[in-house]
Structure 1
Amino acid sequence: MAAMLRAIFLVVTVLLVGCVSNGGNRPVNKNNAVQSYLELSRGYLQQGYAERAINPVNRALELDPDSAEVYGTLGLIYQVQGENLLADQSFKKALSLKSDAADIRNNYGAFLFGEGRLNEAYRQFAVAADNVKYSSRSRAYENMGLVSLNLGRLSQAREHFQKALKLNGNLARARLELATILEEQGKSREAWGHYQIFTRLAGQNEQSLKLGIKLAKANGDNSAAASYTLQLERLYPSSTR
């Protein structure tokens, strides 16, 4: 579940603003400077240097104190640092500045999910998913499906995963979770189809191998069932005891 909660860094289009001076004779475009600081900050964050990510984002904030993108990035940094109150405040500030920022809503939803605030997370993902201009709507629907699973709403989760896959058929997590739901609902043949696509998209884990064994047996593929059983015994020997 933790993998689902990784922040997704998306490029946000920002309108060009006036120029500022760099202390010399050459003017510096303010927007370009902000974006450069944000890229540096996100680079540090992705490399695991959350502490170093603070300085460049603060410089960006000095240049543009009304930037939703800057506050959204600050929220991600505080989230990684475990400063949850500050993260919450930063995400809220970002959305107060730009309520239609679907990427920020998706990231805020992921933060809320990690905090166990499932209903709040679902609402943020739903708003992001409703934005037809959002280039990662599939991820928002996938996240809605994961929240629904945690709330015990299997039918709703199935609908969200199916929608996510209509938008992006290469979502491995949605494929696996949908296959799991369909298997539980007795739709083994349909589940098998999704599972086979999943195996081409991602590596196996204990959960997926156990599901693969069930589905292979249910669909009469004894060779696949034996192969998955061997992989399970080799990679997760304690699970077969």
Structure 2
Amino acid sequence: MRSRQGLVVYALTILLVGCISHSPSVPNGQGKAVDNYMNLAKGYIQEGYIEKAVKPLNRALEIEPRSSDVHGMLGLVYQLQGETRLAEKSFKKALSYNSGAAEVRNNYGAFLFSRGRLDDAYREFSKAAENIDYEKRSRAYENMGVVAHKQGNLVSAQAHFEKSLRLNSNLPRARLELATVLHKSGDYGKAWAHYLMFAKQARQNSQSLWLGVQLARVNGDKNAAASYGLQLERLFPGSKELQAYRSLVRHE
């Protein structure tokens, strides 16, 4: 599935994290200034002015140079700019100041995944998931599943996706990935059940519709298979999934 090629990993949405921790040595007034600079940087990012986000973050670091949160956000900003060396340096510095920063580890894992460093990414996601207090543990397990799936380890991928869904049942990506893994493993009934739940939670794309066609057919639901096929025809006329569907129908 294409989602495995470009791991969503929520690294950018995490920029909206609200709770920022400050060093005890930073007075409340200065801590508030750091928060304001970070919020200003977030606003620039949301508006698409990525280059402008660096300055307020550097101002925040002038006040609190050992802030893991600020260095972690700076890593995301550099990643958005394509400055991979600076991004990794910022992520590492953030973790050197707070090795338990699960949010930063999850984001760093996303960065490593984008660089094709799957083993390193898996390690960071695992460390994030180990933090029982991390409020997005489900995302970390989901990301572990994506890496395991890309590496061809279906058993581990299934376990990670199931864990993520136990923690948060409203994860359509994990639901779809799990359906894909189960389909590959030959557990068609269970795959179909998860796929139907996914279809209620998220908008379809060409890859998910093609999976739906295959699962509907193998589970004997001809009407659903035809419906998904029609959606492929209507919504994704130039897709490779539509070509595969047409080839399947022609050879019946």
TM-score, with normalisation over the residues of structure 2? 0.88
In 2 relative to 1, CA 193–129 (structure 1 residues): closer, same or farther, beyond 3 Å?
same
Displacement of 1:44 in angstroms is 1.4
Q: Which runs of no fewer than 5 residues in structure 2 stay unpaired?
A: 244-252
| In structure 1, C-alpha distance between the alignment counterparts of 2:162 and 2:33, rounded to whole Å | 41
Match of 1:221?
221
- Partner amino acid, structure 1, of 2:8: M
Deviations 1:179-225 (A, max 9, x none): 01111111111111100110111111111001101111122222211
Displacement of 1:18 in angstroms is 4.6
Q: What SS class does the counterpart of residue 4 from structure 1 fall into?
A: coil
Deviates more, 1:40-49 or 1:157-166: 40-49
| In structure 1, C-alpha distance between the alignment counterparts of 2:7 and 2:207, rounded to whole Å | 14
Match of 1:142?
142
Q: Which has the higher contact order (CA 8 A, sep 6+)?
A: 2
Deviations 1:20-73 (A, max 9, x none): xxxxxxxx7011110111111122123321111111111101111111111001
Q: Does 1:200 align with 2:200?
A: yes
Q: Does 1:11 align with 2:15?
A: no
Match of 1:45?
45
- Partner amino acid, structure 1, of 2:210: K
| In structure 1, C-alpha distance between the alignment counterparts of 2:47 and 2:144, rounded to whole Å | 28
Displacement of 1:153 in angstroms is 0.9
| In structure 2, C-alpha distance between the alignment counterparts of 1:178 and 1:6, rounded to whole Å | 18
Match of 1:30?
30
| In structure 1, C-alpha distance between the alignment counterparts of 2:25 and 2:47, rounded to whole Å | 30
Within 5 A, what are the aligned runs for 1:160-171? Answer: 160-171=160-171
Q: Identity of aligned pairs, percent?
A: 53
| In structure 1, C-alpha distance between the alignment counterparts of 2:111 and 2:152, rounded to whole Å | 20
Q: Does 1:230 align with 2:237?
A: no
Displacement of 1:3 in angstroms is 5.4
Deviates more, 1:9-18 or 1:216-225: 9-18
- Cα-Cα RMSD: 1.4
Q: Contact 1:125 / 1:143 at 8 angstroms: preserved in 2?
A: yes
Q: Contact 1:17 / 1:31 at 8 angstroms: preserved in 2?
A: no
In 2 relative to 1, CA 159–18 (structure 1 residues): closer, same or farther, beyond 3 Å?
closer
Match of 2:102?
102
Deviates more, 1:45-54 or 1:86-95: 45-54
Match of 1:112?
112
Match of 1:61?
61
| In structure 2, C-alpha distance between the alignment counterparts of 1:47 and 1:3, rounded to whole Å | 23
Q: Contact 1:5 / 1:111 at 8 angstroms: preserved in 2?
A: no
| In structure 2, C-alpha distance between the alignment counterparts of 1:159 and 1:213, rounded to whole Å | 25
- Partner amino acid, structure 2, of 1:125: F
- Partner amino acid, structure 2, of 1:29: G
Q: What SS class does the counterpart of residue 126 from structure 1 fall into?
A: helix
TM-score, with normalisation over the residues of structure 1? 0.92
Q: Contact 1:179 / 1:195 at 8 angstroms: preserved in 2?
A: yes
| In structure 1, C-alpha distance between the alignment counterparts of 2:43 and 2:106, rounded to whole Å | 20
Q: Contact 2:112 / 2:121 at 8 angstroms: preserved in 1?
A: yes
Q: Contact 2:112 / 2:118 at 8 angstroms: preserved in 1?
A: yes
Match of 1:25?
none
Match of 1:158?
158
Match of 2:124?
124
Deviates more, 1:101-110 or 1:184-193: 184-193
Deviations 1:122-169 (A, max 9, x none): 000000000000000000000001111111111111110000000001
| In structure 1, C-alpha distance between the alignment counterparts of 2:101 and 2:115, rounded to whole Å | 21
